[in-house]
Copies of this chain bind each other. A is one copy, B any other.
Amino acid sequence: MMQYSQEQLKLFMQAAIGEAHKAATMGEVPIGCVVVDDGVIIGRGHNLRESSHDVTAHAEICAIQQANQQKKDWRLENCSLFVTLEPCPMCAGAIVNARLKSVYYGCADKKAGSAGTLMNLLTETRFNHQVEVDKGLCRLECVKLLSDFFAKIREKTEKD
């Protein structure tokens, strides 16, 4: 996990946080993601599940699909993925399928987290590829994104 300096890692996670803000302004749960190849962001995505009516439109899936098109290759070997919230099983599976090198996530997901919390699909040795995992980069900011969003929803519901 020594490919990027701590400063660079934070800049990539800040880009993912920027994506999450885009989701929030659309009323979507604020989760954002970027895929980085050799220091360059080649895929960006934010959660669009409600507005697109597409259950697969998680931030990670959107960012991976964009990176695939950028490289014209379904393989994202040597790429790193930065996401504000721990991946669910679907996204963890996509990350393994795309053969990403490493994943950095901001905060853990107690309900569906499948990169260390409920299970770890990224390091599962029975699959044909394993991914390095780092958690806690910009954690407080990633937690705040979600807590602010849900606090606003509660506030709105109480007013209604």
Give chain A's interface residues, CB within 8 Å of chain B: 49-50, 52-57, 61, 64-65, 68-69, 71-76, 88-94, 96-98, 111-112, 114, 118, 121, 124, 126-128
A55: contacting residue among B54, B94, B111, B114, CB under 8 A: B94
Which residues on B sit within 8 Å (CB–CB) of A74? 49-50, 52-55, 57
A89: contacting residue among B54, B69, B93, CB under 8 A: B93
What is the chain B residue whose CB lies nearest that of A69? B53
Q: Is the interface of A mostly helix, strand, loop or mixed?
A: loop
In the complex, the count of this chain's copies comes to: 2
Contact B53 A56 (CB under 8 A): no
What is the chain B residue whose CB lies nearest that of A49? B74
Q: List 27 A-B contacts (CB under 8 A).
A: A52-B74, A53-B69, A53-B72, A53-B73, A54-B65, A54-B68, A54-B74, A55-B64, A55-B68, A55-B74, A55-B76, A56-B61, A56-B68, A57-B74, A88-B97, A89-B90, A89-B92, A89-B121, A90-B90, A90-B91, A90-B92, A90-B94, A90-B96, A90-B97, A91-B93, A93-B93, A118-B127
